[in-house]
């Protein structure tokens, strides 16, 4: 039996001891390990399978960890983790106490920069390259960015800055949105090798020096070079940013990758390498349906993933169905997503209403201002966006939407903890940063039917609005088929008890009701975070000895703070207990376990009330 190459690697230093002819076999072993490992833990699969050869080549050529590799988003960094001493730790990937699904500086010296959100890699790597120049170091910085992440303005801001620095920064574009086209073949690989070589670079510098004395001829030569490059590469754009563009090359050809990267490592100035890969490479089901295999739960690799069917609808599905129903009822509705069609439940809408569906790419800032422009002209935009990604468009929300009081509706998915994806993707802060913005209507549904009705309420509101709902399914409440709204700013008393009143928002209404049974407490489902139901709050404050606010959001500046402010404004004084997410970043793990650890399950809520040592009436 042939010994495994992967078993011989504890660090990239071991990898660099291999002969080049060993690398394809290593890639096959690494790919098999990825499929088996992710099948046991769940995680991002297709993107990691597509980046195997690129990861091997980068660690083979560059002297990591001294040379820094910054993985954009980081959902394609599993092979990187395996090659950098964390192969055994993959058994605990994205699980409580285990390694993260994204690069983390605290986890490994090889994780040069913590990522999770898109389009940060070039900025971070450029900062590192400048730091190396400041300290006189010859270390190199590499940014690995996917084609989707190149749609964000931040990536182009960084390119614009980098091109003017002459720093030895390498940007690798991992282009996996297409199969390898005919021009990415032998001729193109040869040209890439040629353009990355020192002879080409030296000849180019010499030519520029000679022709600098004759500007018209120099300009003619420059145009001729761009024309020749442009016939076989799409690199003119990146050349204009000041980069030396190389590629596109086959991102699964290790010989080409290693030789090209080795040549680039010897060059000065900003370099841009365009590699074309295939998502799901090497695992047929993932190659056939890379979207389905982008993020997976545990599965049998031999059988593949089964299409989900049946079961209680998730909040995302409730939104998707509502979107189609409301679009049928109101021709003004259009829907916008920043590259999250599947995740936000918009597939059916995109098929049924293709002319009213807009995927703007990973460009959250643009999505909000684009929606504002639509709203200026009488269209009613719905922006479906994850809570964690809305953070990236905060200025646009304030300046372009709220300040002008435009009827843009935000459907905020993944509000609260999200589990395995961890703190980079948790929606922990939206109530705090939304609540302080003037003109905002903010709603938090406690079940599926309430979600549907609050979506209608927000859509019909003549101003900016937001409905935030968690990942996964709700308590299983039957969903009405009509599009009836609620009265704005009105909550409902779900349970009448004594002494203690739970003022609950959204997903924590259900555990509040459960805890209330053991305490004989009242439970108010507030429905609206802004405006608050002040009449209901007054009644609770005047008839109970303790008010407990509950929210799946950071306590600091959250909904509970709003309740305290409202009571103070009404001149009411009552003991209060604010329960929510603590003032820390919550690690990855099982969502129910994490909520329990935060004291936000029924047992934790009841225990927190009892700790106040407030005498309960007999």
| Rounded Cα distance, 174 and 49, in Å | 12
133 catalytic residue (yes or no): no
Query: What whole-number distance in Å separates Cα of residue 561 and Cα of residue 551?
Result: 11
Asked if 558 and 432 touch (Cβ cutoff 8 Å), the reply is yes
Q: Are 591 and 419 in contact (CB under 8 A)?
A: yes
CB neighbours (10 Å) of residue 489?
A: 17
Residue 492 has φ and ψ, to the nearest 5°, of -145, 140
Choosing from 68, 81, 281, 392, the catalytic residue is: 392
Alpha carbon of 529 to those of 250, 384, 465, 523: distances in Å?
52, 19, 11, 16
In angstroms, the CA 390 to CA 383 distance is: 10
- Phi, psi (rounded to 5 degrees) for 511: -65, -30
The yes-or-no answer on residue 279 being catalytic is yes
Q: Largest alpha-carbon pair distance within the chain?
A: 98
Alpha-carbon distance values, 216 to 202, 229, 240, 321 (Å): 21, 20, 19, 62
DSSP states along 361-376: -S-HHHHHHHHHHHHH
- Please state whether 7 falls in left (phi above 0), alpha (psi between -120 and 50) or beta: alpha
Supply the DSSP string of 342-401, one letter for each residue.
Answer: TTTT-HHHHHH-GGGEEE--S-HHHHHHHHHHHHHTT-EEEEEEEHHHHGGGHHHIIIII
CA 421 to chain centre: 9
**Of 519, 477, 516, 508, whose CA–CA distance to 601 is shortest?**
508
Residue 173: φ, ψ to 5°: -90, 110
Neighbour tally for 498: CB within 10 Å: 15
Please give the radius of gyration of the chain, using alpha carbons only, rounded to the nearest integer.
27
Selecting among 68, 104, 278, 279, the annotated active-site residue is 279
> Which candidate in 53, 259, 364, 551 is catalytic?
364
Query: Is 610 annotated in the active site?
Result: no
Catalytic residue list:
279, 364, 392
């Amino acid at each position: 039996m042939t010994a495994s190459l992967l078993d011989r690697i504890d660090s990239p230093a071991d990898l660099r001891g291999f002969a080049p002819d060993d690398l394809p076999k290593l890639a096959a072993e690494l790919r098999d390990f990825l499929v088996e490992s992710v099948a046991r833990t769940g995680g991002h699969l297709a993107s990691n399978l597509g980046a195997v050869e690129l990861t091997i080549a980068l660690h083979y050529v560059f002297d990591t960890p001294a040379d820094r590799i910054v993985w954009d988003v980081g959902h394609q960094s599993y092979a990187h983790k395996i090659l950098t001493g964390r192969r055994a730790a993959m058994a605990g990937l994205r699980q409580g106490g285990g390694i993260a699904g994204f690069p983390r500086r605290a986890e490994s010296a090889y994780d040069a920069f913590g990522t999770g959100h898109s389009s940060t890699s070039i900025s971070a790597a450029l900062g590192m390259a400048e730091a190396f120049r400041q300290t006189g170091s010859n270390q190199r910085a590499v940014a690995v960015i996917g084609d989707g992440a190149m749609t964000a303005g931040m990536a182009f801001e960084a390119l614009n800055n980098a091109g003017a620095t002459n720093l030895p920064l390498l940007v690798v574009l991992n282009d996996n949105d297409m199969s390898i086209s005919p021009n990415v073949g032998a001729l193109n690989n040869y040209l890439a090798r040629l353009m990355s070589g020192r002879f080409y670079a030296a000849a180019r510098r010499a030519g520029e020096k000679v022709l600098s004395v004759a500007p018209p001829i120099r300009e003619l030569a420059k145009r001729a070079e761009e024309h020749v490059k442009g016939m076989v590469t799409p690199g003119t754009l990146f050349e204009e940013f000041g980069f030396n563009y190389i590629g596109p090359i086959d991102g699964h050809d290790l010989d080409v990758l290693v030789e090209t990267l080795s040549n680039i490592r010897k060059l000065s100035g900003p370099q841009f390498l365009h590699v074309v890969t295939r998502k799901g490479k090497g695992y047929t089901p993932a190659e056939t349906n890379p979207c389905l295999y982008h993020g997976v739960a545990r599965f049998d690799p031999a059988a593949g993933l089964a299409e989900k069917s049946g079961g209680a609808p998730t909040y995302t599905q409730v939104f998707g169905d509502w979107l189609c129903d409301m679009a049928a009822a109101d021709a003004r509705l259009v829907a916008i997503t920043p590259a999250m069609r599947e995740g936000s439940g918009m597939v059916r809408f995109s098929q049924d209403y293709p002319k009213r569906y807009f995927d703007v790419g990973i460009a959250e800032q643009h999505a909000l201002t684009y929606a504002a422009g639509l709203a200026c002209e009488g269209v009613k935009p719905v922006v479906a966006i994850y809570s964690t990604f809305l953070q990236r468009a905060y200025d646009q929300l304030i300046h372009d939407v709220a300040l002008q009081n435009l009827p843009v509706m935000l459907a905020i998915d993944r509000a609260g903890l999200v589990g395995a994806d961890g703190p980079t993707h948790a929606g922990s802060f939206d109530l705090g940063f939304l609540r302080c913005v003037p003109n905002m209507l903010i709603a938090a549904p406690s079940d599926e039917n309430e979600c549907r009705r609050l979506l209608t309420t927000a859509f019909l509101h003549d101003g900016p609005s937001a409905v935030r709902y968690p990942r996964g399914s709700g308590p299983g409440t039957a969903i009405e088929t009509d599009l009836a709204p609620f009265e704005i700013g009105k909550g409902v008393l779900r349970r009448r008890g004594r002494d203690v009143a739970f003022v609950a928002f959204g997903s924590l209404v259900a555990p509040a009701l459960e805890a209330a049974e053991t305490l004989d407490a009242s439970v108010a489902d507030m429905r609206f975070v802004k405006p608050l139901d002040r009449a209901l709050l007054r009644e609770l404050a005047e008839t109970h000895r303790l008010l407990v606010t509950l929210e799946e959001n950071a306590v600091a500046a959250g909904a509970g703070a709003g309740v305290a402010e409202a009571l103070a404004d009404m001149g009411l004084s009552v003991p209060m207990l604010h329960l929510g997410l603590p003032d820390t970043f919550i690690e990855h793990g099982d969502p129910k376990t994490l909520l329990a650890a935060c004291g936000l399950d029924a047992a934790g809520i009841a225990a927190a009330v009892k700790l106040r040592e407030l005498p309960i009436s007999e």
